[in-house]
Amino acid sequence: MRWLLVAILAYACLVLQTAAFRPGGLAVPVDGHWARPDLVLLLGLFLALYLEPYEVFVVGWCLGLASDVVSVSGRLGVQALLVSLVLTGLSHGRGAFRRTRVLTQFLLAFGVVAATHLLWYLATRYLEDASPAIGRSIEQALLDALYAAVLAPYLFWVLERLRRALGVADESREG
């Protein structure tokens, strides 16, 4: 894998995520929460579908740490840990997924973003000594996950075209 290109793509996703999908931009206001996709996590999800688990853990940690750095709330390292664990767990079963199918991409993106964001919202509220607000955290995680899942097939299409440049192994293509 070409780590420099992954870092460049991660930076591009992070800039797009923070600049375009902000309140007043492409973020969608829903009941006091600005729903926006997690493009950095989607990049990690794409890589988790192709790479070995030990590589995914490192990529997930780096991507999560980058998200932690630009986050306005939470503690440094919480997202890094959550992203690396969720993506590593997914990469262990990557052979079971037909990763070129749009429905698979949509469902995986929805599940991964929902799980990661829910755990992050709950952990952030717990660490800040705020009430857990489980219902509100679930609502926010599902809204973010839906937005990310809608955009996932488009981002995956672009990343699939860059797969060879990324140095991701060429495996037998699913139908």
Q: Look at residue 171 and tell me whether its pLDDT is greater than 70.
A: no
Q: Look at residue 174 and tell me whether its pLDDT is greater than 50.
A: no
| Domain encompassing residue 33 | 3-166
Q: Does residue 172 lie within any of the structural domains? A: no
Q: Give me the chain's average pLDDT, please.
A: 90
How many domains are contained in the chain? 1
- Which secondary-structure segment (H or E) carries 134? helix 134-161
Per-residue pLDDT, 173:
47
Q: Look at residue 161 and tell me whether its pLDDT is greater than 50.
A: yes
Per-residue pLDDT, 76:
86
Q: Among all chains, which residue has been given the structure tokens 């440049």?
A: 165
72 compared with 160, residue with greater pLDDT: 160
Q: Cα separation of 50 and 104, whole Å? A: 14
- Residue 113 buriedness (CB in 10 A; 0-12 / 13-18 / 19+): buried
Residues contacting residue 100 through CB under 8 Å, at least 6 positions apart? 160, 173, 174, 175
48 compared with 126, residue with greater pLDDT: 48
Q: Does residue 22 lie within any of the structural domains? A: yes
Q: Look at residue 144 and tell me whether its pLDDT is greater than 80.
A: yes
Q: Is the dihedral of CA 133, 134, 135, 141 positive or negative?
A: positive
Range of lowest pLDDT (47-51, 104-108, 168-172): 168-172
Find the CATH number of the domain harbouring 161. 1.10.1760
Q: What is the pLDDT of residues 75-120, one digit of tens each?
A: 889 999 999 999 999 999 888 888 889 999 999 999 999 999 999 9
Q: Does residue 26 lie within any of the structural domains? A: yes
